[in-house]
Structure 1
Amino acid sequence: MLHVEKLYLKKEDFSLKNLSFEVKKNSYFVILGRTGSGKTMLLESLAGIQKIKGEIVFDGKKITNFSPEKRGFGFVYQDFVLFPNMTVKENIVFASRYKKIENASELYEDVITFLEIKPLLKRRIKHLSGGEKQRVAIARAIYARPKLLLLDEPLSAVDPTFRNTIMKSLKEIVKRYDTTIIHVTHNFREASYLADKIAVMIDGSILQVGNAYEVLNHPKTMEVATFLGYKNICPSGMIEPQHDKKFFSIDPSAILFSHFSSTTEYCFACRIDEVMGVTDHYKVFAHVQDVTFFAKVSKTMFDKLGLKEGLMCYLCMHKKDVIFI
């Protein structure tokens, strides 16, 4: 449906670096990256707001040089960009001023019911909460019947208590309104819940694209693993000298301590260097060869094993819990 090939854009000292990816029709595609990684710039490039080098093809047609109006995409910015001098209803139906909306009345009623906006229709924008503004902005975008819906950090200004509700609504939009969504965020939980596919974006480059489980659980590079918060990234040679991947990672909660070695798992003699007690577990830092591992140990297991600073014991890992990078 959407094919992007070697998209390049330079703004001052920052650039989008020859980005290439595809988004399938009626899918939910999430671009995941830190603030300042170029996510909004990419959305604006897709929308036609930024002039780029490279090629954008939509439904088999080259649209690289099309104006935003000609592309027919919907765009919901992080700060919503609603019209403050209009009511909620006037904001939602604004698209009918410049284009004919197919089955407008039925669509309007469905959208305001689906997003639970009926009680807000006569209000001015300044009297809405962040979550209410978000729903109105999404309703306005859907009402215009976009071929592709671009969402820029749509949950950033929403109260955490309403975030789950809005995420469920976003998930339903693709099928309910026969559209495709590209959603940018820095939030891993959002990406995991919403995405059919995730693209990880770092410093203007897309480093990995794949289904949500694959990307979040099997990072392909050190940069992606670090960004995703992986801990205990160590040379693969420690456990598999001939492995084709250079590094491995083990989750702190998956590390086991024992007074005995095991030949069925990865086990190393270690020295416990530091112990920090928190609410329901201990943070344990253990030294293996020239590497320090960080582990989370339940208080029950910690007491059972008699772990303490300076203790010599074994640090073990189930092979199934090790991720190679």
Structure 2
Amino acid sequence: MDYLKIKNLSSKTNDFSLDKITFDIQKNEYFVLLGQSGSGKTMLLETIAGLNQCEGEIFYKGEDISLLATEKRDIGFVYQDFALFPNLNVEENIRFSSKYKKVVDADTLFEDIVEFLKLDSLLDRDTKDLSGGEKQRVAIARAIFSRPKILLLDEPLSAIDPTFRNSIMKSLKDIHRRYDVTTIHVTHNFREASYLADKIAIIMDGKIQQVGKAEDVLNHPINIEVARFLGFKNIFPATMLGFSSSSKVFSVDPNVIKVSKNGTMEADYILEGVVEECMGIVDHYKLFVKVKQHQFFIKILKRDYEGCYADRTNIIQIGFDKKDISFI
């Protein structure tokens, strides 16, 4: 049985809609919702938490909770801006859930969370005096203290100094494991998703485009829109490679494409093109080569080539191997 199952979930606010969202999450999975700003990520979290009216079903361990009040869903929510209570100090923020529900082994849990998240020196502080990283830790501590069935994290690293991001990502994974919680994490950052996720769902314009194991989604996009969102380059019709299907497309990484001026290249696929531009960037060149009506983007290391292939209008060969192609 799925731990959490979202089935045909729809919701509307102003001029934006979530459209028949469906996916499932297993117990203790770290599930990442990946999408651009305005794609519906936060709205979906709020709908799962019961903050928006909706159609469709939300099942927790087989029980439909879609009509339950927010406070009865046992869901911990950490907002992007942390949403701490300004009239309460750090300890009072963390213990807030005990005002409306019985927290099992509350004192033991509190001491463990404080020690684990290194909050002991902050307990008497006003939240307005905290740094972004400190506020984040307090917000997560408050959510964990409520012993949620599911932890919802809305862009939890967006307000964090990039120099601390790696350590905080590790902390999130450790929290997920230590407190035996199933997590849904919203982000637009591919690196976050790759490091944290067991499973990823790509959301665009209120619709789930693709969902699956993190490695599968990030390396095998289901369509061109997802591929472009994930940063895939050089997306062209497979007819360029001799395939007959006009609907099939392929992508090849700019870093694996070889180039040659003298026709001595070895590769599974060799194409002839015209240099349109060459840009020197620190340790590499960015080449833009037109092959028929399509422009290839290529990166070549300066140390591997003498001089730039910058002579515009020069005809060169580009090549790549079958193993380096992703079909979409």
TM beyond 0.5: yes
The letter of the residue matching 2:103 is I
Q: Are the equivalent residues in 1 in contact too, given 2:259–2:265 (CA < 8 A)?
A: no
Match of 2:305, SS state, is helix
Distance in 2 of aligned mates of 1:267 and 1:232: 15
Mean CA deviation greater in 193-202 or 153-162: 153-162
Which whole-Å deviations, capped at 9, do the CAs of 1:165-207 have from their partners, x for residues lacking one? 2111111122211110001011111101100000000110110
Distance in 1 of aligned mates of 2:109 and 2:221: 41
After superposition, where does 1:219-238 map in structure 2 within 5 Å?
Answer: 219-238=221-240
Residue of structure 1 equivalent to 2:88 = 86
Distance in 1 of aligned mates of 2:50 and 2:242: 49
Distance in 2 of aligned mates of 1:227 and 1:60: 34
Match of 1:310 among 304, 310, 313: 313
Q: Are the equivalent residues in 2 in contact too, given 1:245–1:324 (CA < 8 A)?
A: no
Distance in 2 of aligned mates of 1:244 and 1:112: 59
Q: CA deviation at 1:263?
A: 6.8
Distance in 1 of aligned mates of 2:15 and 2:254: 38
Q: Are the equivalent residues in 2 in contact too, given 1:261–1:268 (CA < 8 A)?
A: no
Whether 2:129 is the aligned partner of 1:104: answer no
Residue of structure 2 equivalent to 1:35 = 37
Residue of structure 2 equivalent to 1:51 = 53
Q: CA deviation at 1:159?
A: 1.1
Whether 2:74 is the aligned partner of 1:72: answer yes
Whether 2:268 is the aligned partner of 1:265: answer yes
Which whole-Å deviations, capped at 9, do the CAs of 1:250-270 have from their partners, x for residues lacking one? 111111102326575111111
Which whole-Å deviations, capped at 9, do the CAs of 1:218-249 have from their partners, x for residues lacking one? 11101101111111110011114146961111
Residue of structure 2 equivalent to 1:278 = 281
After superposition, where does 1:180-191 map in structure 2 within 5 Å?
Answer: 180-191=182-193
Residue of structure 1 equivalent to 2:206 = 204
Q: Are the equivalent residues in 1 in contact too, given 2:269–2:322 (CA < 8 A)?
A: yes
**Unpaired segments of 5 or more residues in structure 2?**
none
**Unpaired segments of 5 or more residues in structure 1?**
none
Mean CA deviation greater in 260-269 or 49-58: 260-269
Q: CA deviation at 1:12?
A: 2.1
Q: Are the equivalent residues in 2 in contact too, given 1:282–1:302 (CA < 8 A)?
A: no
Residue of structure 1 equivalent to 2:150 = 148
The letter of the residue matching 2:135 is K
Q: Are the equivalent residues in 1 in contact too, given 2:237–2:246 (CA < 8 A)?
A: no
Whether 2:290 is the aligned partner of 1:287: answer yes
Whether 2:326 is the aligned partner of 1:323: answer yes
Whether 2:236 is the aligned partner of 1:251: answer no
Distance in 2 of aligned mates of 1:174 and 1:81: 21
Aligned sequence identity (%):
54
Residue of structure 2 equivalent to 1:16 = 18
The letter of the residue matching 2:125 is R
Q: Are the equivalent residues in 2 in contact too, given 1:48–1:66 (CA < 8 A)?
A: yes
Q: CA deviation at 1:93?
A: 0.8
The letter of the residue matching 1:96 is S
Q: Are the equivalent residues in 1 in contact too, given 2:267–2:319 (CA < 8 A)?
A: no
Q: CA deviation at 1:310?
A: 2.5
Distance in 2 of aligned mates of 1:264 and 1:231: 19
Residue 263 and residue 301 in structure 1: after superposition, are their counterparts in 2 closer, same or farther (change >3 A)?
closer
* TM-score of the pair, normalised by structure 1: 0.96
Which whole-Å deviations, capped at 9, do the CAs of 1:105-138 have from their partners, x for residues lacking one? 1111111111111111111001000110000000
The letter of the residue matching 1:228 is L
Distance in 2 of aligned mates of 1:102 and 1:165: 30
Distance in 1 of aligned mates of 2:186 and 2:7: 19
Q: In the comparison of the two structures, how many residue pairs are matched?
A: 325
Q: Are the equivalent residues in 1 in contact too, given 2:266–2:319 (CA < 8 A)?
A: no
Distance in 2 of aligned mates of 1:305 and 1:75: 52
Q: Are the equivalent residues in 1 in contact too, given 2:277–2:310 (CA < 8 A)?
A: no
Q: Are the equivalent residues in 2 in contact too, given 1:148–1:180 (CA < 8 A)?
A: yes
Distance in 1 of aligned mates of 2:283 and 2:140: 40
Distance in 2 of aligned mates of 1:256 and 1:315: 5
Q: CA deviation at 1:84?
A: 1.0
Distance in 1 of aligned mates of 2:141 and 2:12: 33
Distance in 2 of aligned mates of 1:12 and 1:75: 23
Residue 304 and residue 319 in structure 1: after superposition, are their counterparts in 2 closer, same or farther (change >3 A)?
farther
